[in-house]
């Protein structure tokens, strides 16, 4: 019987059975590289093919989403839900509306989510969903009709003890409201089937802020570990959505200076620092799906750099908070040349493989998204428990809970990723810590 895993054979197997799904291959490879030595040191895992089983989603569904636009024209999109692994709790993970969404992207995100959710220590499995719908330039009514049509099919597969979606790119409080309304209407039930809900109907305080705040708490812990702090640090941040704006807000609160934000059109650089007042303006502005970050410059000054990314701007810390593979090897070299201390992923897999290698080899502290952006799903877990218990926790209590979740994840990463006197290997730390709990649960279930 096989009691060892060979990394390259395993990856050949993954690539062969998932042709063309490059971001999925990338995500699996990153985890496998860390956990294969651990598995080979603990052959009980190889014997039950735990890694092979983890790399195959429990199920993936895809479905047609038909809807009529404001001109009466019928539109056809494709919706998905990938239910990756429910060994430690109901499937849990966001819904993404973006034209780039396809099965491979959602498999990468669902796979990552399994380990991330495990790191929070809350009982949540991994899943992800979405559609190739582009909300940019769509009216409120069009977005509502799309969300309703999407949920009219999705409701068959989700439920508060089965699979609990939330937001992601292109899906925020408004879209969650439309989807929740439709689920409630179809099923005639009021339950915690989605998280990121409005506060009036079962949402949790702190959920909106949790991902961005959590990422900066993780940065704070990384810097504290080397005897430093966020105070006075210049931060370059990409994205200008939920994660980016709340990361910038927490950097400000901790005495740092966020100087950039971006969107798919380019980035703005404000050398004076993006103040709370300016951030509030961006938050309001960007709730209109399709609004441009470039408008910031007309309002407040600074400069706009069309079709560019912010990683060449001098900084002490960098927080990629937009999308996957948005920071490549050249960008990493620019950050290294500028003596950047730490790169913390607010987004999911924003750094390419080559970028991560360059950063780690140069001794830059690097936190992978599955650890650093776990605050969002952590708070979602607390929203689920508030819904199940039919109670409401206050802001102070939840703020402290978020801080603790992030500190505990940092500690777990250090426990598994520290080596000698060199920088902590947060990739190895997060992957092994996340893997172990899921693997042990699968071990307990036997071959299922």
Q: Kindly list the residues in this chain that would bind ligand 2IT in the complex (CB under 6 A).
A: 92-94, 113, 116, 166, 168, 195, 348, 376-377, 380
Of 11-19, 34-42, 240-248, 384-392: span binding ligand NDP (CB under 6 A):
240-248
386 makes contact, choosing from ligand 2IT, ligand NDP, none, with CB < 5 to 8 Å by partner type, with none
Q: What is the length of the chain?
A: 448
For the four alpha carbons of 41, 47, 52 and 53, in that order, the dihedral sign comes to negative
Of these partners, ligand NDP, ligand 2IT, none, which one is at the site of residue 346 (CB under 5 to 8 Å by kind)?
Answer: ligand NDP
Residue 79 bridge partners (DSSP): 63, 131
Site for ligand NDP (CB under 6 A): which residue of 54, 65, 106, 322?
A: 322
- CA-CA distance, 259 to 297, in Å (whole number)? 13
Q: Which of 116, 128, 428, 436 is catalytic?
A: 128
The least CB distance from residue 322 to ligand NDP, in Å, is 3
> For the chain, how many helices (H) and strands (E)?
17, 13
395-417 vs 374-389: helix crossing angle, rounded to 10: 130
C-alpha–C-alpha distance, residues 170 and 245, integer Å: 15
Tell me which stretch binds ligand NDP (CB under 6 A): 242-250, 277-285, 311-319, 399-407.
Answer: 242-250
d(CA 129, CA 316): 35
Instruction: Give the CA dihedral 388, 392, 396, 402, nearest 10 degrees.
Output: 20
Q: Is 308 in the site for ligand NDP (CB under 6 A)?
A: no
CA separation for the pair 264, 262 (Å, rounded): 7
92, interface contact from ligand NDP, ligand 2IT, none, CB < 5-8 Å by kind: ligand 2IT
The one of ligand NDP, ligand 2IT, none whose footprint includes residue 320, by CB under 5 to 8 A per kind, is none
CB of 6 to ligand NDP, least distance (A): 31
Contact flag: residue 130 with ligand NDP (CB under 6 A):
no
Q: Considering only CA atoms, which of 297, 306, 295 is closest in space to residue 265?
A: 306
b/e per residue 5-43 (b: at least 16 CB within 10 A): bebeebbeebbeebeebebbbebbbbbbebbbebbeeee
261 sits in which H/E element: strand 260-263
Catalytic annotation on 47? no
Q: Which of residues 193-222 bind ligand NDP (CB under 6 A)?
A: 211
260 near ligand NDP, judged by CB under 6 A: no
- Assign 156 to helix, strand or coil: coil
Distances (CA, A) of 141 to 291, 309, 317: 17, 33, 40
Q: Are 276 and 249 in contact (CB under 8 A)?
A: yes
- Does position 323 interact with ligand NDP (CB under 6 A)? The reply is yes
Phi, psi of 157 (to 5 degrees): -110, -10
- The residue sitting closest to ligand NDP, measured at its beta carbon, is 241
167 lies in the site for ligand NDP, by CB under 6 A: yes
Q: Which does 93 bind (CB under 5 to 8 A by kind): ligand NDP, ligand 2IT, none?
A: ligand 2IT
Whose CB is nearest to ligand 2IT?
94
- Verify binding: residue 320, ligand NDP, rule CB under 6 A: no
112 binds ligand NDP (CB under 6 A): no
Kindly tell me which residue out of 321, 327, 367, 405 binds ligand NDP, with binding defined by CB under 6 A. 321
**Please, what is the minimum distance in Å from the beta carbon of residue 163 to ligand 2IT?**
10
CB of 47 to ligand NDP, least distance (A): 34
The yes or no reply on residue 113 touching ligand NDP (CB under 6 A) is: no
SS3 368: coil
Residue 260 interacts, among ligand NDP, ligand 2IT, none and using kind-specific CB cut-offs from 5 to 8 Å, with: none
Token pair, residue 315, equals: 């900084």
Q: Quick check: 149 binds ligand NDP (CB under 6 A)?
A: no
CB 208 within 8 A of CB 246: yes
Contact, 206 vs 242, CB < 8 A? no
Question: Which of 236, 237, 313, 347 touches ligand NDP (CB under 6 A)?
Answer: 347
Q: Which of 65, 158, 194, 243 binds ligand NDP (CB under 6 A)?
A: 243
Q: Is 117 in the site for ligand NDP (CB under 6 A)?
A: no
Q: How far apart are CA 27 and CA 10, in angstroms?
A: 13
In this structure, what DSSP letter does residue 324 have? T
Partner from ligand 2IT, ligand NDP, none binding residue 242, C-beta < 5-8 Å depending on class = ligand NDP
Catalytic residues: 128
Contact residues for ligand NDP, defined by CB under 6 A: 98, 100, 167-170, 172, 211, 239-244, 263-265, 321-323, 346-348, 373, 376
């Amino acid at each position: 019987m096989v009691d060892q895993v060979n990394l390259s054979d395993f990856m050949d197997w993954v690539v062969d059975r998932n042709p063309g799904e490059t971001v999925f291959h990338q995500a699996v490879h990153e985890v496998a590289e860390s956990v294969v030595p651990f598995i080979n040191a603990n052959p009980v895992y190889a014997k039950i093919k735990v890694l092979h089983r983890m790399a195959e989603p429990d199920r993936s569904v895809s479905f047609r989403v038909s809807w009529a636009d404001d001109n009466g024209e019928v539109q056809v999109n494709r919706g998905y839900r990938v239910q990756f692994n429910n060994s430690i709790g109901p499937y849990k993970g966001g819904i993404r509306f973006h034209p780039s969404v396809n099965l491979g992207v959602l498999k990468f995100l669902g796979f990552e989510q399994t380990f991330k959710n495990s790191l929070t220590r809350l009982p949540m499995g991994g899943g992800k969903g979405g559609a190739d719908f582009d909300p940019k330039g769509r009216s409120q009514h069009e977005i509502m009709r799309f969300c309703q049509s999407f949920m009219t099919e999705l409701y068959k597969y989700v439920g508060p003890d089965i699979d609990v979606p939330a937001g992601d790119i292109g899906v925020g409080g408004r879209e969650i409201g439309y989807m929740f309304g439709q689920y409630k209407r179809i099923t005639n039930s009021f339950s915690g089937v989605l998280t990121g809900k409005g506060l009036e109907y079962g949402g949790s305080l702190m959920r909106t802020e949790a991902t961005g705040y959590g990422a900066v708490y993780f940065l704070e812990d990384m810097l504290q570990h080397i005897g430093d702090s966020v105070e006075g640090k210049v931060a370059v941040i990409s994205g200008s959505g939920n994660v980016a704006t709340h990361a910038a807000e927490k950097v400000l609160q901790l005495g740092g200076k966020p100087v950039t934000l971006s969107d798919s059109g380019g980035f703005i650089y404000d050398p004076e620092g993006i103040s709370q007042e300016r951030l509030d303006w961006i938050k309001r502005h960007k709730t209109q799906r399709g609004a441009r970050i470039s408008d910031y410059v007309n309002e407040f000054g600074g400069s706009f750099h069309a079709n560019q990314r912010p990683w060449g701007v001098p900084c002490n810390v960098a927080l990629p908070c937009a999308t996957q593979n948005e920071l490549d090897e050249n960008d990493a070299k620019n950050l290294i040349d500028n003596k950047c201390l730490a790169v913390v992923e607010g987004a999911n897999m924003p750094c390419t493989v080559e970028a991560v290698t360059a950063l780690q080899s140069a001794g830059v502290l690097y936190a992978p998204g599955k650890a650093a952006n776990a605050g969002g799903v952590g708070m979602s877990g607390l929203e689920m428990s508030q819904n199940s218990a039919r109670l409401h926790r206050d802001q102070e209590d939840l703020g402290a809970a978020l801080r603790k979740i992030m500190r505990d994840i940092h500690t777990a990463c250090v426990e598994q990723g520290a080596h000698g006197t060199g920088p902590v290997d947060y990739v190895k730390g997060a992957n092994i810590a996340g893997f172990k709990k899921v693997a042990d649960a699968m071990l307990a279930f036997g071959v299922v």
